[in-house]
Amino acid sequence: MNINSVFYIFILFPIFSFSQQKTKKGTVITEYGQTYSVTNPDFKTNIQQDLKVVFDIGRTFGDSTKVNPLINTAARYLNMHVDAGVPEKKLKVAMVIHGSAAFDILTDAEYASKYNIDNPNTLLISDLAKKGVQIILCGQTAAYYNISKKDILPEIQIALSAMTALVQLQNNNYRLINF
């Protein structure tokens, strides 16, 4: 074995072993938001403080048959923090939907008229809302795409704009996560 082989073993083994870890189902949103275990992290999670977050979700992805991974991130956020010991009541989550992501919150009937299938995000959005996640649609996006209140899932609130909702939530100490 030469020095290069040894180097690659020591460098790549930790990366390879981490990538082989299995995801685990969530305990809050059980069908979505799979996470990985992180044992003994150096940066400790403060389980005493409120963790208030607003996800800025402004795009969708090319495959209309799959859940929008940005919406799924809200489920991951809940699942991983509860798993890390944060009480569920300490987690405050909001999502502000705008741009092409607006199509991911359509009712099954509206989604089917556009993509010929039921909305794969419906159950996830319902589960998130049941756990207190605020889901807010930009009114400007809704107007631009001619989306009315009857076209979107019942859990969705419409705001004047995404900008308005983001500012108001941040004024209430929600921290912005933008992808």
- Phi, psi values for residue 97, rounded to 5°: -100, 130
Residue range 23-70, pLDDT digits in tens = 888 899 999 999 998 888 999 999 999 999 999 999 999 899 999 999
Average pLDDT rounded to a whole number, residues 150-173: 98
pLDDT confidence of residue 16: 46
pLDDT confidence of residue 152: 98
Average model confidence (pLDDT) for the chain? 91
| Tokens linked to 10 | 């020591």
Residue range 103-139, pLDDT digits in tens = 999 999 999 999 999 999 999 999 999 999 999 999 9
SS3 of residue 94 by DSSP = strand
Whether the pLDDT of residue 13 is over 80: the answer is: no
What distance in Å separates the CA atoms of residue 125 and residue 127, rounded to the nearest whole number? 5
Average pLDDT rounded to a whole number, residues 136-144: 98
| pTM of the complete model | 0.85
